[in-house]
Amino acid sequence: MNPFAAWFALFFAAVFTQNILLTNYLGMCPFLGASREIKTSFGLGAAVVFVMTFTTPLNWILYHRLLVPLGLEYLSLIVFICLIAAFTQLIEIVIERVSDALYASLGIFLPLITVNCAILGASLFMVARSYTFLQTTAYGFGGGLGWMLAILAMAGIRQRIAKNRLPRGLEGAGIALIIAGLMAMAFTGFTGITAPF
Amino acid sequence: MKTAARRLFLENLGANNPVFAQVLGICSTLAVTNRVRNTVVMSLGVIFTLTAANLIVSLLRRHIPARVRMMSEVLIIATFVLLFDILLRAFSPEISRQLGPYVGLIITNCIIMGRAEAFALSHPPGLSVLDGLSSGLGYAYVLLLIATIREILGAGTFMEMRVLGEGWMPWTLLAMAPGAFFVLALLVWILKGWVLARPAVEGSPS
Amino acid sequence: MTPLRQSSFRDRLAPVLFVSVLSALFMAVVSAAHLITRPVVERNRTRYLQRAVLEAAGWTVPASPSQMEALFESRARLASEAPDAPFAVVQDPAGRDDRLVFLETGRGLWGPIQAAVAFSSLDGALAGIAFVAHNETPGLGARIEEPTFRRQFIGKRPPLALSSSASTGSSNPSEMDGLTGATITSQGVRDLINRAAQRVRPAIQSATPTAPEMLLDR
């Protein structure tokens, strides 16, 4: 198939059929802890999209152009997480200098991103599945978008039920987990769609 | 000091439990708890990393420049996780194969980073080690509870030994992620709603 | 102004220096551990490969590594490195024909699945499969390692399709059963078997140049 369609097929799969949160269960902590409101979830999701879109290809370059030629693949975990931490730190500094509004809506989430398993997980999968650079761009962008989609859906549901009375002990984490379970069940339905790659 | 240490220990196991009270470390909870054996190994890895990282961070706490605080913590944690992974791969290859990517993902286990930030940076090494140990144990027993339920009902085995009869139709949903969510939700509900809850006192702040 | 600029320069340098020293130190520690354990890891990897090759060919492999290595020495030989040639040729336990074993990789849910796929050198039918490496979820995708799943492939003729009927144990030689709750893993296994099968045909033709045409009726 032509390269544009192939890129899009992988992108589509990364958002839906292989959603990094609901299929590979990565990025749960902020998903469950910080998803009460749509506004904050949007900020968090946008930050994840931004960081994942750039760090995954950057890690590809580091892995295939530096670690592999030197035979240092076993250090990839440390190198990846360092790049992610450095990148988020850098972006936070830049945003802080450039725009107060942007910092208020996006910048405060950046420290949380470093420990988001989804970001590191995306890089690890990129290596395990031997993606090309082009495929990595599709996967990084799609993965982040998929994560944002999931957290927005979760926030929407939680906002809806915010005024409802829940059994004692179920507020907060409890109900979020049940919602997540139902969403995960729904997303397993996507596995029937075979992607042409 | 003794009572403070004991209170810390008990709190990390109960009221401040990283999994069901702070809702941290969930990624690995879902992925690993469908087999008790893997949960045991993962718990050991987390306890090891938590304790060691807390110790080093606490020892270095007056020397870490503020700007690179997070990055240094991440480096320290990553090192111990990698060491654990290497040791596992060399001496227990069967289990290493089963745990696969999850060992590497211990680095992003929010509990470890969370405790380093919230505790080890501001407390002496002795208490930090205790904090790491108790948080790890708090994580471990919750995961083992979930894993027991999921493995017995989802596969009919416990620690790879068949426990339920051959005719048992396994509840496959429990072996998948939705099952983990639901079991954890149930556990959180029971623990927060009954075991930890105190009777409401009139006029007290909510 | 000057004292401020000086201290700010040192402020910016110190953290970078700190992180660099820390990184170098930790990378050294990790590298040391890696290098020390590398021989053990390599040996484990070779053993897994040999065990999978023997199992795929139909042998009941003894648990002890030294006995397994002895069995491999006596019954298997590594074939050439050419892409069309099998990875190894193993004697059939019943002594009838040789088993051509290919190493093939498929895409699972959590990463690549590598398997040893054995074909009969007489008619190209599947003789068995064993998994070398995978990262699938224990209790779900990882169940592809179970003998009950692997047994179904004996005698089947690729290309295989996933059976859509609810009952298990399909006797259709072109169908395979998937695993409940592990669709992506099952698809990965199907794809890798079919890919391995495409490599068998030329291998059989070159291995048995006088084989009658009617055996290769596809």
What is the total count of domains within chain B? Answer: 1
Helix (H, G, I), strand (E, B) or coil at C98: strand
User: pTM of the entire structure?
Assistant: 0.80
CA B162: distance to chain centroid? 26
The pair of structure tokens assigned to B165 is 């009869």
Query: Does C216 score more than 50 pLDDT?
Result: no
Side chain identity, residue A23: T
pLDDT category of residue B205 using cuts at 50, 70 and 90: very low
Percent of chain B with pLDDT over 90: 21
pLDDT for res A197: 47
Give counts: helices (H), strands (E), chain A.
Answer: 10, 0
What local confidence, expressed as pLDDT, does residue A1 receive? 64
Query: How many whole angstroms separate alpha carbon B172 and alpha carbon B179?
Result: 8
How many domains does chain A contain in total? 1
> Which residues, at least 6 apart from A108, have a Cβ–Cβ distance to it below 8 Å?
A43
Closest-CA residue of chain C to A129: C111
Residue A144: what pLDDT? 95
- Kindly state whether residue B58 falls inside one of the protein's structural domains: yes
| CB within 8 Å: A117 and B109 | yes
The tokens describing A98, both together, are 């450039």
In this predicted structure, what is the pLDDT of residue A56?
96
The answer to whether the beta carbons of residues C89 and C100 sit under 8 Å apart is yes
pLDDT of A195: 52
Nearest CB among A74, A114, A185 relative to B70 is that of A114
Tell me the average confidence (pLDDT) per consecutive run of 10 residues in chain A, 197 residues long. 83 86 81 81 89 95 92 86 86 83 75 80 87 93 94 91 84 86 83 58
Nearest Cα to Cα of residue B157 among B38, B60, B75, B52: B38
ipTM of the complex as predicted: 0.81
Domain that residue A89 falls in: 23-190
Examine the pLDDT at C71 and tell me if it is beyond 90: no
Separation CA B82–CA B47 (nearest Å) = 14
Tell whether A125 lies on the interface with C, counting CB pairs under 8 A.
yes
Q: Give the C window 56-85 contacts with B, CB below 8 Å.
A: none
Nearest Cα neighbor of B13 from B193, B198, B196, B205 is: B196
**Lowest-confidence pick of A22-26, A163-167, B101-105, B135-139:** B101-105
**What does the pLDDT look like over C129-151, one tens digit per residue?**
999 888 787 767 888 888 888 88
For chain B, helix, strand, coil in percent to 5 are 75, 0, 25
Is residue B202, in this structure, part of any structural domain at all? no
Which pLDDT band, with edges at 50, 70 and 90, does C207 fall under?
Answer: low
CA max distance for chain C: 93
Sign of the four-CA dihedral C21, C25, C27, C31: positive
Helices (H), C57-119: 65-75
**Distance between CA A155 and CA A132 in Å, rounded?**
34
For the cut 50, the answer to whether the pLDDT of residue B138 exceeds it is yes
**CB A42: neighbour CB atoms within 10 A?**
16
The predicted model gives B195-201 an average pLDDT of: 56
Mutating which of B16, B27, B88 best tests the A interface, going by the most A Cβ atoms within 10 A?
B27
The answer, yes or no, to whether the previous bond of C173 is cis (omega within 30 of 0) is no
Which amino acid makes up residue B204?
Answer: S
Min Cα separation A3/chain C (Å):
20
Residue type, A145: L
- Determine, yes or no, domain membership for B200: no
Asked, for residue B201, whether it belongs to a domain, the answer is no
Question: CB contact, 8 Å: A161 with chain C?
Answer: no
Q: What are the residues facing A128 on neighbouring strands?
A: none
Chains in contact with A via at least 3 Cβ–Cβ pairs below 8 Å: B, C
Q: Provide the domain limits for residue B165.
A: 2-195
With respect to residue B77, please indicate whether it lies within any of the assigned structural domains: yes
Between CA A74 and CA B1 the distance in angstroms is 42
